[in-house]
Structure 1
Amino acid sequence: MSATLWLIALVLVATLALLLKWQRPAWYWLSFGATFAMLRVLIRYATVMDACQLTVPPPRWRLWLARVFKWQIPRQRTPRILRLRPTRTGIRFRLKMQPGQDAFEFSAAADRLRHSFTVQQVVSKEIGPSVVELVMTGYDVLKRVQMPATVERSQLRVPVALCEDGTVHYRDYKETPHSLHLGATKSGKSVSQRQLIKELAAQKVALVGIDCKQGVELAPMARRFSALADNPDDAVELLEALVGRMNAIYQVIRAEQRVSADVPDAEITADIWGLPEHLRPDPVVLTIDEVAELALFASKAEEKRRDRIITALVRLVQLGRAAGIYVDIYGQRFGSELGNGITMLRAQLTGRTAHRVNDESSAKMAFGDISAHAVFATTQIPNDRPGMAVVGYSTGGWVRVRAPHTSMRSAVNACNKYAHLTPDIPELAAFRPVLPPIKPVEAPVPAVPAEAPATA
């Protein structure tokens, strides 16, 4: 009887594990998967290291002793395990490299390690001299994106996506002032854009938008925007107004520098973040949706307007950071076929994000000067994963990310909720959206049942 009960319990546990793995992979990993994976890593460790050529020969003195005393030849030395701990999405495996090993060897063997340890993804990171960390992802975290319950937020640093290793990808404007987002139609650019605007809406920052698709993407969130242009004619005036604001801010910074021998170094500044609180202007985040509409022209007049737009944009991305002006540009393509000045503009956009593209040349526009591996990874993004993208860094590194699904309604609700935080910028007052006040939603009045007629 006891054996039967044990068998029933085992079947129930196995059924529960399979159900969790199918419906709740994160719960399955925390309850069953992490334990099984750690046992698998420890059991296979020496064999896998040897098969992946991540071992070194024993020292010569041990080989000499083995020959003199006719001992067994010592085995290859494996990297020493420093720490092995589970995380919410995988395992962090820290190793002490043997003399003669290099961190690049572990990066090159990441795919072989992934198959050998039967995990979803392996990313190698160099922690310090002779120390490397293998970040193993236990399941496909990008299949169903779930952001952590607690996420760090600070001024102009907001979470926008989840990386393939389970960490959060942040958009830090102070570190990366300007960025370029490329992607084909239905690739998820709008979802990422809404997530970014939704997070910025809660901060003390001026949102400025240019949407030449008659404002269909940004106009619903207009209550949180300090300025909005929905056609190229208004866009050129708005950009030149931002250039004028930038020049005025530089005059304020210049007047407050007070460079002299008796002024402490900490009080000398070259950007708005060193100004006193009462003089510091609100930072501005400029979002441009579909940049090609600003660069195309069909007549001489439109060509002159296009040159003014590109000139103003180049000035903003070259000089705007110190004045607190940050630029996010979205588009399907951003190549030299858009005319003069485009490659100069693209070179100033440090942040690069590419969603699914239709051809390899589009991926090269984003990562051709950063990493050939990032170009290949961009072309491998499947059609059934909108919001998935490759983020490249100027150092040559890159990572796959996917933004959580953000509907237009949730973004609009956030912008309406924080509409009172919208700064009034005098230089952009002519472009401030004029909208009727939000009507409060009245609760339905419960129906009063009619009184029953009195009976005689």
Structure 2
Amino acid sequence: MLALASFLAREVRWWVRHILYFVRRALGLVLIAAALIWWFGDRVPSYILVALAFTAATIRGWALLASSNWRARIEWPARGVLSRLAFRWRWPTMAEACGLTQRDEVGDIVAPALRTVTCRWPWLRCEVKTLPGQKMGDFEAASEALRHALGALHLRVEQVAAAGVLLTFTMDDTLASPFATPEPGIEAAALEVVEVGRTEAGKPWNLPLGPHTLVAGCSGSGKGSVLWSFVLGLAPASHTGLVRLHGIDLKGGMELLMGARLFATTATTAAEAVALLEELVEQMRKRTRRYAGHVRFHEPTVEDPFHVVVIDELAALTAYCTERDLLRRAELAINLLCSQGRAPGFMVFACLQDPRKEVIPSRGLFTQMVGLRLKDVNETAMVLGETAVTAGVHCHRIRRDAPGTGYVVPEDGGPPLRVRAGFASDEVVRAVADRFPAPPHEQVVEEPA
């Protein structure tokens, strides 16, 4: 009985929430329905009531069983149409309240003209023609007021023309609900990108394989979600020998040893980590000498696999190591791998909490940056750059109850993407490690005489 009552309560809440949503935004349809009921009265045939009930059940079943399809085909397009209409109606009042209007010759208030208003949920984009004397900085200064006036989560301001500004409002948090990292399939995926989660647009979040990657975030921000989603995505390729994973975890192995069978080698002390890094540097040098004059880009094979170094807490090697000699050697090896490793097939994937230059001197050598929840706007600029902060990226505003959520700047220089990594439970990590163990470590191909 309690389960039935809970189910009925959830159903009632769902219907009330959605009915009220559309009633508020489609009052005209409600009035038409009321007029029809008043006109026909009790003359409505019973089969119409049955048809209405069947339609309601079909809609509810669609929304319940295929929620992503429902949102993409019904909910998001409907919200987009209503948001565009509401924005055009509210824009003059919003612009005046946010200090973006002027007075003309006769004293009337004039708001910046709207050139276009488009909505592809969850984004509402409007191109505004600036008034004489206005500049993009005026809209950046008023961005927080505009965001609050519209009830948006985020606002990005961009210059699109000599007298035009593009305002991109994020109207809904499509990444609010956590999701599990899917277990990889039997077939190894193409070694170009690794799917680690979803973007704000509901598309897969793919990390390119090759660029050295730095994941920065406070404790509890979800660095483990990004790390394990990346490692599990490479598990089939590691199992076949095309990729060789090397794990460094100076927290005694608490994180990476959960899936130790996925890694060809692991290091849990500073001495072991430095020895591993220096061995990889030597392998890299041998490979570059073999490739010189013959090959410019590495193609992974079982004989020449793609090496990925996964470091759980990079600062433990570059700043917090108490032995100065080990710290110096670790920093040198990481600098060499990051500066020379991409072409011959060596990649560093590292996580850390403190992105300051004195903590991670080689920060500039990481070309792919992921910013999770950080302490302040200065740390956001350290990780993603000043341009990302200007574009409205604020990693310090990410909620604590949304681990794995962050921003990434694409390599093509496009606008920052808001993303979220999947959650990999201990059971999933162990299951994938048992299913796709790394092959036994083989001797590295030696330099020909």
User: So what's the TM-score if we normalise by structure 2?
Assistant: 0.66
Aligned equivalents of 1:307, 1:325: Cα separation in 2: 21
Aligned equivalents of 1:191, 1:145: Cα separation in 2: 11
| Native 8 Å contact 1:135 1:165 kept in 2 | no
**Cα deviation digits, residues 23-70 of structure 1 (max 9, x gap):** x79748337533432331343355556666778999xxxx9xxx9xxx
- Compared CA separation, residues 328 and 130, structure 1 to 2 (3 A): farther
- Compared CA separation, residues 414 and 56, structure 1 to 2 (3 A): farther
Question: Alpha-carbon deviation of 1:315?
Answer: 0.8
Q: Tell me, which stretches of 5 or more residues in structure 2 are unaligned? A: 1-35, 183-188
What's the counterpart of residue 209 of structure 1?
A: 247
| Native 8 Å contact 2:113 2:128 kept in 1 | no
- Compared CA separation, residues 165 and 116, structure 1 to 2 (3 A): farther
| Native 8 Å contact 2:215 2:369 kept in 1 | yes
Aligned equivalents of 1:232, 1:133: Cα separation in 2: 49
**1:282 maps to 2:315:** no
Aligned equivalents of 2:203, 2:81: Cα separation in 1: 20
- Compared CA separation, residues 95 and 179, structure 1 to 2 (3 A): same
Question: Alpha-carbon deviation of 1:333?
Answer: 2.6
Aligned equivalents of 1:42, 1:415: Cα separation in 2: 54
**Cα deviation digits, residues 193-249 of structure 1 (max 9, x gap):** 111112222444322211122322112323332222222222112111110111112
Aligned equivalents of 2:285, 2:395: Cα separation in 1: 38
- Compared CA separation, residues 137 and 253, structure 1 to 2 (3 A): same
* Equivalent of residue 294 in structure 1, options 287, 300, 317: 317
1:74-85 residue pairs with structure 2 within 5 A? 78-81=113-116, 84-85=118-119
- Compared CA separation, residues 402 and 278, structure 1 to 2 (3 A): closer
Q: Tell me, which stretches of 5 or more residues in structure 1 are unaligned? A: 258-268, 430-456
What's the counterpart of residue 191 of structure 2?
A: 155
Question: Alpha-carbon deviation of 1:305?
Answer: 2.3
What's the counterpart of residue 286 of structure 2?
A: 248
> Rg bigger for which structure?
1
Aligned length: 379
Question: Alpha-carbon deviation of 1:254?
Answer: 0.8
* Equivalent of residue 178 in structure 1, options 201, 212, 225: 212
- Compared CA separation, residues 415 and 94, structure 1 to 2 (3 A): farther
* Equivalent of residue 90 in structure 1, options 108, 122, 142: 122
Question: Alpha-carbon deviation of 1:283?
Answer: 1.9
The aligned amino acid for 2:405 is: M
**Cα deviation digits, residues 343-378 of structure 1 (max 9, x gap):** 2x1221233334334677766754577766699923
The 3-state SS of whatever aligns with 1:256 is: coil
What's the counterpart of residue 426 of structure 2?
A: 408
The 3-state SS of whatever aligns with 1:272 is: coil
**Cα deviation digits, residues 372-395 of structure 1 (max 9, x gap):** 669992333333222233445797
- Compared CA separation, residues 73 and 335, structure 1 to 2 (3 A): closer
Moved more, 140-149 or 207-216: 140-149
| Native 8 Å contact 1:359 1:379 kept in 2 | yes
User: So what's the TM-score if we normalise by structure 1?
Assistant: 0.65
What's the counterpart of residue 321 of structure 1?
A: 342
* Equivalent of residue 176 in structure 2, options 143, 148, 152: 143
The 3-state SS of whatever aligns with 1:426 is: coil
Question: Alpha-carbon deviation of 1:400?
Answer: 4.3
The aligned amino acid for 1:239 is: L
